[in-house]
Amino acid sequence: MNAHDTTVEGAAPRAPAPAPAGAAHEVLAVVFQIRQDRLSVLLWRRARPPFEGRWSLPGGRLGADEGLDDSIRRQLAQKVDVRDLTHLEQLETRGDPCRHPQGRILATAYLGLVPADIDPLVPADTRWHPASDLPPMGFDHAAIVHSGRRRLRAKLSYTNVGFALAPPEFTMSQLSRYYRAALGHDVAATNLRRVLLRRGQIEETGRFVPSGRSGGRPAALFRFRARRLEITDAFAVLRPPGGA
């Protein structure tokens, strides 16, 4: 774990729904990071059937003596060496009897976020892919990635979850690029600054980024006031420019 705080968001922990007789239970993670100004998701290539050679979400079977949260953290640390999550929350549970070709397997998926200033060392069979341009995937994992994108976009509107995408300090130009990548539409730095200041999400640090060779005013550095999830405007929606 790095110096960033880590949060597990949600209501009181829920026990998984009872599995049908003979059903197994797996946990999966949709891990997002802004990389080269694109929202990217961490996937690993399967080396054996079913769906050999296709990409899938990291995760695995729930241990007999494990809770869901403990299991997904173990899976991420052991299988793809990702420990630098600044936010982790339960996303959804899928129980379609036909979702897995090997039989009835329930899947509980999590949404995890890694800040842009971290570059996790991942195994050779693991890679970051643009969330908007997924490779051929196995099972129902592509649909789970899309669910994760929808959840992230919604929470950027009414919570301070942007803290989990950004480094501890940032310029508004940087933050607007992170929001643009996650939301999928243009986000003006001046408008974002006004909105997030009004909602009490960010504050100035009093420090500045030195001007470059071209001169100009030094850019102010900001930070999120809290690095734990908070609902700041329950009915807010960050709309595209010109949106209703």
In the predicted structure, residue 213 carries a pLDDT above the cut 70: no
Q: Mean pLDDT over residues 11-15, rounded? A: 49
What is the mean predicted confidence (pLDDT) over 28-53?
96
Instruction: Band the pLDDT of 21: cuts 50, 70, 90.
Output: low
**Is pLDDT at 92 greater than 90 in this prediction?**
yes
Residues 219-242: tens digit of each pLDDT: 999 999 999 999 999 888 887 876
Reported pTM: 0.88
Average pLDDT across the chain, whole number: 89
Residue 44 has pLDDT above 80, yes or no: yes
Task: Check pLDDT > 50 for residue 15.
Answer: yes
pLDDT (0 to 100) of residue 1: 41
Tokens of 212: 């470059």
**Domains detected in the chain:** 22-155 (3.90.79.10), 160-224 (1.10.10.10)
Cβ count near 180 (within 10 Å): 19
pLDDT digits (tens, 9 = 90+) for 136-194: 999 999 999 999 999 999 999 999 999 999 999 999 999 999 999 999 999 999 999 99
Taking the C-alpha atoms of residue 135 and residue 131, their distance in angstroms, rounded to an integer, is 9
